[in-house]
Structure 1
Amino acid sequence: MDSEAREITKLYRAYKTIHEMVHDRGYLVSQNELDMTLSQFKDKYASAGSVERESLTFLVQKKDDPADSLLVFFPADESVGVKPIRKYTERMSSQEVLKGIIVYQKNLTPSAQKVITQMAPKYLIEIFSDSELLVNITRHSLVPKHVVLTNEEKKMLLERYKLKDLQLPRIQPTDPVARYYGLRKGQVVKILRSSETAGRYITYRLCI
């Protein structure tokens, strides 16, 4: 396999994982996108033998809240600087979208990282490299099922066990699974593990 073919395959896998990710976060994603094969990806995006990364950009809306939209960007530059970040936030502003994900090739410059930090909390921009998305970690047999609780479900959980949220075990926002689900400070995730004795073992973790 030549380098161009390897690059297309790598980008296809990242494209698939990012669609699965936003779907698992509750955004509307078509089944055609989730089921897209490498051959279909090539026909749609690499008919000329390479992929124009910017053409992969897409917008999704939350199933239960159309006002909650998310834009996913695929920068063409190998090293992403301030200029594309400014361009993306301008697009987010024009489309009234407050959340974004940038899928980059090699790295983001320190200046770009700084701009993303400065944009928060108005614009919440997450970053993932192609390499991080080659495999969907939540589909791995060793990773238990995670379910992000709604605010109401969190309230009911704390009331049921008469707990303060800080009494729950914790998960860092930098944890790979926390990043996958876009966990924010104060959110609680339910973790379901298999147990030979109990059948299923449930724990909860607070994002801090």
Structure 2
Amino acid sequence: MNQDEHYRLFKINKTILQMLHDRKYIVEKGLVEKSFEEFKESHQGNPTREDLQRMATKIEDPSIHIFIFFPPKETVGIDQIKEFEKKMADGAVHRAILVIQNKVSPFAKKYIVSLAPEKIMEIFHENELLVNITEHKLVPKHEPLTDEEKKALLERYKLKETQLPRISVDDPVARYLGLSKGQVVKIKRPSETAGRYVTYRFVC
């Protein structure tokens, strides 16, 4: 693996760590802040995709975990998915992120769909993780509401959730945050007159 590929893995790993942090999983601050050279040193100068696999724990609920898998093959088949499924079952883990190099076979995709909602496997292509999209200046701050906050919002404005403006579950920021259908997200945008403009979106 050459220097360019090492740097590519460094960028992908950093975005994954930021994603976990933004989803409120426990992430050591030092891991996110590592320089490229420190990243290489921590992997004996030769980081691999397998090195980047990890499990993270929710801050507010230590019983909730997520796996990050880096399938070694360029095309992920159903056998590989079943291996990941077993690891999730063995660890009592409900959700996982698959960081793929190329594609997932049609049969593997169907199998992933069949596992939901008991097991959720999110798929991200490596190219999607080279840059953290939430750091772009044109992307406003998105904050998922808790069930209690969602209920309070709807009661305050006497609304049904379906009356809120919508955001697709496939929206890039919704995917980054791991949002599910039925959730509500608060979006904060800068405003020349009010300083900050807040809107809410129903995930569908």
Q: TM-score range by the shorter chain?
A: over 0.9
Q: Residue in 1 aligned with 2:90?
A: 94
2:130 maps to which of 101, 112, 134: 134
Equivalent position SS for 2:62: strand
Q: Residue in 2 aligned with 1:17?
A: 15
CA distance in 1, matches of 2:133, 2:169: 16
CA distance in 2, matches of 1:181, 1:153: 17
Equivalent position SS for 2:199: strand
Equivalent position SS for 1:111: helix
Equivalent position SS for 1:157: helix
Deviations 1:143-187 (A, max 9, x none): 011100000000000011010000000000100000001110110
Q: Residue in 1 aligned with 2:114?
A: 118
CA distance in 2, matches of 1:38, 1:195: 37
1:36 maps to which of 17, 34, 37: 34
Is contact 1:8–1:46 with CA below 8 Å preserved after alignment?
no
CA distance in 2, matches of 1:78, 1:166: 40
Q: Residue in 1 aligned with 2:191?
A: 195
Equivalent position SS for 1:194: strand
TM-score by length of 1: 0.95
Q: Residue in 2 aligned with 1:26?
A: 24
1:84 maps to 2:86: no
1:166 maps to 2:162: yes
CA distance in 1, matches of 2:91, 2:160: 38
Q: Residue in 1 aligned with 2:142?
A: 146
- Identify unmatched segments of 5+ residues in structure 2: none
- Identify unmatched segments of 5+ residues in structure 1: none
Among the aligned pairs, what percent are the same residue? 48
Is contact 1:71–1:97 with CA below 8 Å preserved after alignment?
yes
Q: Which of 151-160 and 35-44 deviates more?
A: 35-44
Tell me the amino acid that sits aligned with residue 30 of structure 1.
E
Tell me the amino acid that sits aligned with residue 18 of structure 2.
E
1:44 CA displacement = 2.0
| Count of residue correspondences | 204
